[in-house]
A and B are shown apart, each in its own frame.
Chain A
Amino acid sequence: MSPSALRPAPLPAGPAPDAAQPAALRARLASHIQRRGALAVLVLMVAIASATSDTFPTWSNISSILGNNAFVWLLALGMTFVILTGGIDLSVGSLYALGGVLGAYGAHTGGTWLAIVLPLAVGAVWGSVQGLLVSRAGMAPFIVTLAGLLGARGLLQALTDEGATTYLVPPGSAFRHLGAGTWTPVLIVVALFALGALLLTRTRFGATVTALGGNENAATLMGLPVARTKVLVYVLSATLAATAGALGSARLGSGVTTIGVGYELTAIASVVIGGTLLTGGSGSIGGTASGVLVLAVIHNLIDHYFSQYGSAFTDTVNGAFLAVVVLAQTLLSRTRQTD
């Protein structure tokens, strides 16, 4: 944003030029808070945590934050695309678990190659079914993916004899390397986030995603491939979720059937905290990255200071945080619109 943007244009930039200046400034500020708020909060929290805690800034702590959670962040990456179109994907938690089982099953029976391809393929098919129901049958995304949440769990249970069988990744399998240590997961995730950012900002697909979330009618009339793009975002989200699950199983060494419950909520929270509008049309991958890190740091601090309450406290904070952010977003976007 260059300062030159503030000078008046030959055609009126606002409905009433006499009042436009302060309103425009306010709107500009609001838009900045919206987009960069998460990053600011992240920096602030890291600073405070580093200053007040001895254990937070240690390498072992940071590597545990990064290594243990990185794959789950991929759910937020896929979710960003879905939310940008104005949709929502509640099935990613189940698909994460399903991907884990498939990955372990693949590694168990066919080696690394199958461990990677199987979850990818199942995720893509699952996502395309959801996407088709949303875009072609015109069904509400939340209900389709809610059914997807149920169905993916069902499929997982069926694969594991109702959870009785746990597939192990063979100890010597090369697949395990993908999830080992701190750097491999982090590098994989960072690379995928970078690719995601490129996809969103520098391709026509990305532009279509944002456009159709901003004004679906306009996108259709402009001749953008709306239906196809909608299907693709659900494919992307489901595939990423299944892949993340598979990578998670590589780290854990087995396909854990009970994992992933409620992950979709954390993913949505991360995306929203990262400044992506839940109504679609505005948001960024960078914001989502800040969002996942904010939540990760919060959880780490809670684990550290309130460990006696366990994950329950984390959930409460998650919910409250989400509510506050959404509230703030609503107010901010209202400020932007009154301009």
Chain B
Amino acid sequence: MTPTTWAGPDLLDRARLTRLLQAYGVYAALVVLFVVAAVLDSSFLSAGNVRIQLFQVAPTLMVALGMALVIGTEGVDLSVGAMIALAASVVPLYVGYGAPLAVLVALVFGAVSGAVGGTMVAFARIQPIVATLSLMIGLRGVAELINGNSAKPVMNSGLLSLGSDGFAGVPLMAWIAGVCAVLTALLVRRTTFGRQLVAIGDNRQASKLAGLPVRRVLVTVYVLSGVLAAFAGAMIVGHGAEADPAHQGLNMELNAITAVVVGGTPLTGGRVRVLGTVAGALFMQLITAVLTQHNVHTSYTQLVEAAIICFAVYASQERGTR
């Protein structure tokens, strides 16, 4: 457990390789996977298949963007899956007043839950895993309390079009996720908030001494994560034309964390890679799709995913300088 290293002659090469892998590995893997998939199956590049993939990746990406921000502050948000379930349970209640209001209410729920989690992390200084874990358990319970155990069909045209319409041949959901990704990238790179977020993740104590509004930033980050997850929940309801809190959003926290980690954002905070997260989400979506299309059982798909997560985390924490 000592930080000793055996400086061999290949140390520098290995360090550079690690750094390259961390920086560009996900893009390379995505390209390779894409080529392999296209070669194996000519129908992979068909418009229909691409659309399906985009529909499926959009909600995951939305959640992953919020997760990337949280992980950037050296935290993690395990409540996002439950947040989707909560959104799914709320939407049918208000869909009678029109889709925009229903979505808005879901977003408000997301913001409030995020604020609760953020407050626990920022003010009570509870570890993020634990704070969001208790939210995860609680919110799913609340969702099922609101909705009951059975799935409810949703027929509102506005919601349905949110979930299945397209624009310029690309699903609306993908457009929204794309816009969110661009906004998140701008937020991280260009705004005071974004830079403060990263600084807090890198060294919370130093940030506090530098007069940064640490608590406010932390709460806001969890609120953003909650809102994005709630939005994803509304999209999932619209896409599936039903609200099923018992099943929607299950394991979403895992998928989102995977996308973020595969995308090269370190779990130790201090860095947010938005483009990498997009690539990570696409990569995980494609690998599942390719395996499924080639009749690999979901069981093996899950095992492969688990292995990828482990590898990605391992690669991301291998510091080139060590």
Minimum distance in angstroms from A88 CB to a CB of chain B: 7
Q: Does A158 contact B (CB under 8 A)?
A: yes
Q: Does B209 contact A (CB under 8 A)?
A: no
Smallest CB gap from A310: residue in B: B149
Q: Does A8 contact B (CB under 8 A)?
A: no
Contact B126 A316 (CB under 8 A): no
Contact A262 B137 (CB under 8 A): yes
Contact of A154 among B149, B257, B299 (CB under 8 A): B299
Contact B120 A323 (CB under 8 A): yes
Q: Known contacts A140-B313, A143-B267, A143-B313; decide if A158 and B126 are in contact (CB<8 Å).
A: no
Complex CA gap A142/B302 in Å reads: 17
Contact of B261 among A143, A156, A319 (CB under 8 A): A143
Q: Does B310 contact A (CB under 8 A)?
A: yes
Smallest CB gap from B89: residue in A: A312
Q: Which residues of chain A come closer than 8 Å to B133, judged between CB atoms? A: 265, 268, 322
Contact of A265 among B131, B136, B300, B306 (CB under 8 A): B136
Contact B130 A326 (CB under 8 A): yes
Q: Which residues of chain B come closer than 8 Å to A279, judged between CB atoms? A: 127
Complex CA gap A137/B316 in Å reads: 12
Q: Which residues of chain B come closer than 8 Å to A319, judged between CB atoms? A: 134-141
Complex CA gap A162/B120 in Å reads: 39
Q: Does B145 contact A (CB under 8 A)?
A: yes
Q: Does B161 contact A (CB under 8 A)?
A: no
Question: Range of interface residues on chain A?
Answer: 35 or more
Smallest CB gap from A312: residue in B: B144
Q: Known contacts A317-B141, A319-B138; decide if A139 and B126 are in contact (CB<8 Å).
A: no
Q: Which residues of chain A come closer than 8 Å to B1, judged between CB atoms? A: 216, 220, 226-227
Q: Does B210 contact A (CB under 8 A)?
A: no
Q: Which residues of chain B come closer than 8 Å to A151, judged between CB atoms? A: 302-303, 306-307
Minimum distance in angstroms from B293 CB to a CB of chain A: 16
CB under 8 Å from chain A, chain B span 289-311: 297-303, 305-307, 309-310
Contact A146 B254 (CB under 8 A): yes
Smallest CB gap from A156: residue in B: B299
Most chain A beta-carbon neighbours within 10 Å: one of B134, B135, B251, B261: B134
Q: Known contacts A143-B267, A150-B306; decide if A316 and B299 are in contact (CB<8 Å).
A: no
Contact A155 B303 (CB under 8 A): yes
Contact A330 B126 (CB under 8 A): yes
Contact B257 A150 (CB under 8 A): no
Q: Does B208 contact A (CB under 8 A)?
A: no
Contact B137 A146 (CB under 8 A): no
Contact B137 A142 (CB under 8 A): no
CB under 8 Å from chain B, chain A span 269-291: 269, 272, 278-279
Smallest CB gap from B306: residue in A: A151
Q: Which residues of chain B come closer than 8 Å to A226, judged between CB atoms? A: 1
Q: Does A153 contact B (CB under 8 A)?
A: yes
Smallest CB gap from A150: residue in B: B306
Contact A153 B302 (CB under 8 A): yes
Contact B314 A323 (CB under 8 A): no
Contact A323 B134 (CB under 8 A): yes
Q: Does A1 contact B (CB under 8 A)?
A: no
Q: Which residues of chain B come closer than 8 Å to A315, judged between CB atoms? A: 137-138, 140-141, 144
Most chain B beta-carbon neighbours within 10 Å: one of A147, A154, A310: A147
Contact A158 B313 (CB under 8 A): no
Minimum distance in angstroms from A227 CB to a CB of chain B: 6
Contact B299 A158 (CB under 8 A): yes
Q: Which residues of chain B come closer than 8 Å to A326, judged between CB atoms? A: 120, 126, 130-131, 134
Minimum distance in angstroms from A298 CB to a CB of chain B: 13
Contact B137 A265 (CB under 8 A): yes
Q: Does B142 contact A (CB under 8 A)?
A: yes
Q: Which residues of chain A come closer than 8 Å to B136, judged between CB atoms? A: 265, 319
Q: Does B76 contact A (CB under 8 A)?
A: yes
Q: Known contacts A140-B267, A265-B133, A330-B125; decide if A323 and B302 are in contact (CB<8 Å).
A: no
Q: Which residues of chain B come closer than 8 Å to A133, judged between CB atoms? A: 310, 314
Q: Which residues of chain A come closer than 8 Å to B135, judged between CB atoms? A: 319, 323
Q: Does A191 contact B (CB under 8 A)?
A: no
Contact A150 B309 (CB under 8 A): yes
22 A-B pairs within 8 Å (CB atoms) are namely: A140-B313, A142-B129, A150-B305, A153-B299, A154-B302, A154-B305, A154-B306, A157-B302, A220-B1, A265-B137, A278-B130, A279-B127, A310-B149, A312-B141, A319-B141, A320-B138, A322-B133, A322-B137, A323-B131, A326-B120, A326-B134, A330-B124
Give the A-binding residues of B (Cβ under 8 A): 1-2, 76, 120, 124-127, 129-131, 133-145, 149, 251, 254, 257, 261, 267, 297-303, 305-307, 309-310, 313-314, 317
Of all A-B residue pairs in the complex, the 6 with the closest CB atoms, nearest first, are A319-B138, A154-B302, A315-B141, A316-B141, A312-B144, A157-B299
Q: Other than A139-B317, A316-B137, A323-B120, give 15 A-B pairs with Cβ distance below 8 A.
A: A139-B314, A148-B306, A150-B254, A151-B302, A151-B306, A151-B307, A153-B302, A154-B299, A154-B305, A154-B306, A157-B297, A158-B297, A265-B137, A314-B141, A315-B137
